Structure 1
Amino acid sequence: MAARKLLGISHTTIYEYMRQSPPVLPYRRSENGWHRLILGSDIIFLLDHPQVKRGRKRKKR
Protein backbone atom coordinates (compact mmCIF):
# COMPACT_ATOMS: atom_id res chain seq x y z
CA MET A 1 0.00 0.00 0.00
CA ALA A 2 1.96 2.95 -1.33
CA ALA A 3 -0.51 5.56 -0.02
CA ARG A 4 0.20 4.46 3.54
CA LYS A 5 3.94 4.95 3.12
CA LEU A 6 3.60 8.30 1.36
CA LEU A 7 1.23 9.70 3.99
CA GLY A 8 3.09 8.14 6.92
CA ILE A 9 -0.04 6.62 8.48
CA SER A 10 -1.27 3.08 9.17
CA HIS A 11 -3.52 1.06 6.89
CA THR A 12 -6.36 1.27 9.40
CA THR A 13 -6.17 5.07 9.28
CA ILE A 14 -6.36 4.93 5.48
CA TYR A 15 -9.61 2.94 5.73
CA GLU A 16 -10.99 5.36 8.33
CA TYR A 17 -10.25 8.27 5.98
CA MET A 18 -12.15 6.45 3.22
CA ARG A 19 -15.18 5.73 5.42
CA GLN A 20 -15.71 9.27 6.70
CA SER A 21 -18.52 11.28 5.20
CA PRO A 22 -17.41 13.14 3.11
CA PRO A 23 -14.27 11.03 2.69
CA VAL A 24 -10.96 12.64 3.61
CA LEU A 25 -9.32 10.33 1.07
CA PRO A 26 -11.61 9.62 -1.91
CA TYR A 27 -11.24 6.32 -3.74
CA ARG A 28 -12.71 4.30 -6.59
CA ARG A 29 -13.31 0.58 -6.88
CA SER A 30 -11.47 -1.48 -9.47
CA GLU A 31 -13.40 -3.16 -12.27
CA ASN A 32 -13.68 -6.43 -10.38
CA GLY A 33 -14.65 -4.61 -7.16
CA TRP A 34 -11.89 -6.09 -4.99
CA HIS A 35 -9.43 -3.22 -4.92
CA ARG A 36 -9.69 0.41 -3.89
CA LEU A 37 -7.91 2.84 -6.19
CA ILE A 38 -6.61 6.14 -4.83
CA LEU A 39 -5.50 8.82 -7.25
CA GLY A 40 -2.03 10.25 -6.77
CA SER A 41 -3.44 13.77 -7.00
CA ASP A 42 -5.66 13.02 -3.97
CA ILE A 43 -2.64 11.85 -1.98
CA ILE A 44 -0.66 14.96 -2.92
CA PHE A 45 -3.62 17.19 -1.98
CA LEU A 46 -3.84 15.49 1.43
CA LEU A 47 -0.10 15.95 1.96
CA ASP A 48 -0.32 19.66 1.10
CA HIS A 49 -3.58 20.31 3.00
CA PRO A 50 -3.74 18.01 6.04
CA GLN A 51 -7.33 17.83 7.30
CA VAL A 52 -6.70 15.79 10.41
CA LYS A 53 -4.00 15.69 13.04
CA ARG A 54 -1.55 12.82 13.04
CA GLY A 55 -0.58 10.80 16.04
CA ARG A 56 -2.46 9.80 19.12
CA LYS A 57 -3.64 11.99 21.93
CA ARG A 58 -1.76 11.54 25.17
CA LYS A 59 -3.12 11.99 28.65
CA LYS A 60 -1.82 14.90 30.66
CA ARG A 61 -0.34 13.91 33.98
Structure 2
Amino acid sequence: MHKTVIKIGGSNLKDQENIGRIIPLLKGYNEPVLLIVSAFYGITDKLASARTPGTASFPAG
Protein backbone atom coordinates (compact mmCIF):
# COMPACT_ATOMS: atom_id res chain seq x y z
CA MET A 1 0.00 0.00 0.00
CA HIS A 2 1.32 3.39 -1.00
CA LYS A 3 1.63 5.83 1.89
CA THR A 4 1.81 9.59 1.61
CA VAL A 5 3.48 11.54 4.40
CA ILE A 6 3.07 15.31 4.57
CA LYS A 7 5.00 17.45 7.05
CA ILE A 8 3.62 20.91 7.78
CA GLY A 9 6.11 23.33 9.31
CA GLY A 10 5.58 26.17 11.73
CA SER A 11 5.59 28.87 9.05
CA ASN A 12 2.46 27.20 7.65
CA LEU A 13 0.87 27.35 11.11
CA LYS A 14 1.34 31.07 11.59
CA ASP A 15 -2.30 32.13 11.69
CA GLN A 16 -5.83 30.97 10.92
CA GLU A 17 -5.54 31.89 7.24
CA ASN A 18 -2.40 29.77 6.83
CA ILE A 19 -3.95 26.84 8.70
CA GLY A 20 -7.05 27.10 6.49
CA ARG A 21 -4.90 26.46 3.41
CA ILE A 22 -3.84 23.06 4.73
CA ILE A 23 -7.31 21.47 4.58
CA PRO A 24 -7.79 21.87 0.80
CA LEU A 25 -4.28 20.53 0.30
CA LEU A 26 -5.12 17.38 2.25
CA LYS A 27 -8.46 16.95 0.49
CA GLY A 28 -6.56 16.83 -2.82
CA TYR A 29 -5.21 13.38 -1.99
CA ASN A 30 -7.26 10.35 -2.97
CA GLU A 31 -5.60 8.13 -0.40
CA PRO A 32 -4.93 8.18 3.33
CA VAL A 33 -2.38 10.76 4.39
CA LEU A 34 -0.11 10.73 7.42
CA LEU A 35 0.13 14.35 8.56
CA ILE A 36 3.16 15.43 10.60
CA VAL A 37 2.77 18.85 12.21
CA SER A 38 5.52 20.81 13.90
CA ALA A 39 4.95 23.41 16.59
CA PHE A 40 2.92 26.49 15.73
CA TYR A 41 4.88 29.45 14.40
CA GLY A 42 7.22 30.90 17.05
CA ILE A 43 6.54 28.27 19.72
CA THR A 44 9.89 26.50 19.40
CA ASP A 45 11.70 29.82 19.85
CA LYS A 46 9.60 30.62 22.93
CA LEU A 47 10.35 27.22 24.44
CA ALA A 48 14.06 27.62 23.77
CA SER A 49 14.17 31.07 25.38
CA ALA A 50 12.21 29.85 28.41
CA ARG A 51 14.46 26.89 29.18
CA THR A 52 16.41 26.81 32.42
CA PRO A 53 20.06 27.92 32.01
CA GLY A 54 22.42 24.97 32.08
CA THR A 55 19.96 22.52 30.56
CA ALA A 56 20.37 20.90 27.19
CA SER A 57 19.86 23.23 24.28
CA PHE A 58 18.17 22.61 20.95
CA PRO A 59 20.46 21.49 18.15
CA ALA A 60 21.48 24.15 15.65
CA GLY A 61 19.65 24.07 12.38
More strand by share: 2
For the pair shown, the structure with the greater C-alpha radius of gyration is 2
Higher RCO (CA-CA < 8 Å; seq separation 6+): 2
TM-score by length of 2: 0.26
TM-score by length of 1: 0.26
